[in-house]
Structure 1
């Protein structure tokens, strides 16, 4: 509850008038002081009344790509039966507020407001809560209350269609890159049994030990695998737009791998959650590294659930010069040791071109290395030989350059 400047002045005047009236025995001053104090008390009573409002929000749509339109429809209904709501209201939408006209809202009536949600930045835009301010007719007291309830709007990175997907040097043993959904060659891990699993894949010894059925997960070691290494160091991106373009390119590669049904993993140069050796950590998968099927990886990129979507909330990590260089060295060292796939896609900014030598040294472990450089004023120097380099101003330019590559 807050007293306005007018209310504070009137309250001070009431105290002065009452004091002077009693001190000098002036009944007129006392009467004026009582009237002023009564006005402030009436204002407190009027402003303290809490109207019964029902707030509903609907986002159309609630998941969009960056730059796409999204609208929020807000409906405020007065569920009271006796009094009309004479209020000032505003809805919170991200970093801005939207006025809601609820003056003289009669009992049983509602008002609907539709406004655009800002989608120029990646992330989750929180809409709400509704903030209602109740004032008295004299403007002496203003009471602000928040009606709980928020609706999130997910803003994903733009996805540009890629017509070609590098399949690397390997092929699945049956001649198809999409014919082994669960793998069939090498043991990878154990998981809980689900209805529909073949009983011949049950690991009975482990099942007896843990008390529930455990099923073997295998991988096809010859199935082409794509590794997307996103340079999220702020030192590599002089312009924030170059980092946004790199995120769009990463999402585009993930979706393209989904359509080709290829295993894909997304790694960061500077992980948000520190790891023991300083190398990259699979986004959203702490602990032991596992290969993520393309369908699950693309679902993460699209942020189907609020807790998912590593590319939605991802921000560039600010590191000192030595720490930034060490982060890339640790990432390339781990990539070389673990040989996570046969196609490496490295996405960086203009200031990351000086580190392409570390990425080029991985060609012995990764037969195909694709480098995307975003926001560079001049073409990438020819020193990056042996790698496919795509210079692009934004995500759309990367998609065009990617599709223009004739040989991976």
Structure 2
């Protein structure tokens, strides 16, 4: 709460008039000064009264892809016993003020308004809280207070359909990827018998020990396990400005397309970042892709830097059998280090975005040059070998 420019000027004038009237014996000046001081005091008391407002907000939807419509709806209710007037309100959306009109709310009444959320760029957009400014009728004093809670709207990268699916380390006997979770020769765990289970899968030794039928649970090793490694180093995307790079946005679109395609095919997929700083690995993959940003501003990536740590982690943990490395023109010199993972990953695919020319073909990983997510999807479906 504070005085406006008009209120500050009136207070200074009132003080000068009051002091002059008392000093030189002019009662008219004294009356004018006292009237100005009283007006400022009344303005401060009026602005200090906090209106009882209840604010509810609803995002429809709260997760969208780039370019899709999203709308924020606000409902402001007067929970007090007096009518509220002289209120100015604005919401904050993605760091920008959005004016919210508030009518003269009667007690128990509410007003609803909405506005479109900008979804032109990928990211996590903070929205709110609503800031309500109360002014006195003369505009001498203003008090701004927050109402309601803040929320976020996640703008995911665009997703392009992918039809091709890697075949994984093991091949299906039918010549295709089989999504049946049972019937493989690989033992996974034991579970209780349920009606319909085949008796040949009963593990009799364990059943005798625990006193109830236990059956073997197997996994299908022909299912490919996809690992998507997104290069989020700033040095890999040198065309960036203000933390935004076209090649990095294209890589995020490719990563989102791979994750969605694997989900639709019921295939396991793991999303990893070269630099996992500030990465919330427990969040859904698309939410992580909405929040991921370029990291590091150094002149290069030393051998023992974040990429070296990521390669070492992939070689040690082996979370899958098909590795997809998505990088920009600055990561062209690192393809050899990624290609060295062929011993741990039978299939290695590199997505190169924003390169000035085609990447030289070399023995090892399959390299897909693409300008954006749509071009990557077309190149991915055209691959004949994994």
Q: TM-score, normalised by structure 2?
A: 0.84
1:395 to 350, 356, 373: 373
Match of 1:360 in 2: 339
Q: Who is 1:242 aligned against?
A: 247
Residues 1:256 and 2:257 are matched in the alignment: no
**Partner residue of 1:139?**
139
3-state SS of 2:159 partner: coil
Matched with 2:360 is 381
Q: How does 1:93-242 map to 2 (within 5 A)?
A: 93-171=93-171, 177-180=178-181, 185-186=186-187, 221=221, 223-239=223-239, 240-242=245-247
Give the Cα separation in 2 of the matches to 1:182 and 1:82: 71
**Alpha-carbon displacement from aligned partner over 1:194-232 (angstroms, at most 9, x marks no partner):** x99x9x89xx9xxx9xxxxxx999755554222211111
For residues 183 and 33 of structure 2, the distance between their equivalents in structure 1, rounded to whole angstroms, comes to: 84
Tell me if structure 2 keeps the 8 A contact 1:167–1:225.
no
Q: Shift of the alpha carbon at 1:38?
A: 0.7
Q: Does residue 1:336 correspond to 2:341, yes or no?
A: no
Structure 1 residue 256, shift from structure 2 partner: 1.3
The alignment yields a C-alpha RMSD, in angstroms, of: 3.3
Q: TM-score, normalised by structure 1?
A: 0.79
Residue 71 of structure 1 is matched in structure 2 by 71
1:84, distance to aligned residue in structure 2 (A): 3.9
How far apart in 1 are the matches of 2:185 and 2:4?
A: 74
Which ranges in structure 1 are unaligned for 5 or more consecutive residues? 209-214, 274-280, 286-298, 303-308
CA distance in 1, matches of 2:111, 2:183: 53
CA–CA distance in structure 1, aligned partners of residues 50 and 183 of structure 2: 59
The whole-number CA distance in structure 1 between the counterparts of 2:238 and 2:216 is 47
1:224-282: CA deviation from partner (whole Å, max 9, x where unpaired)? 22221111111001231211211121121112112222222222222216xxxxxxx9x
Alignment of 1:305-324 (within 5 A): 309-321=287-299, 323-324=301-302
Tell me which residue corresponds to 1:92: 92
Q: Are residues 1:369 and 2:329 paired?
A: no
CA distance in 2, matches of 1:268, 1:181: 32
SS in 2 for 1:165: coil
Matches for 1:3-42 after TM superposition, within 5 Å: 3-42=3-42
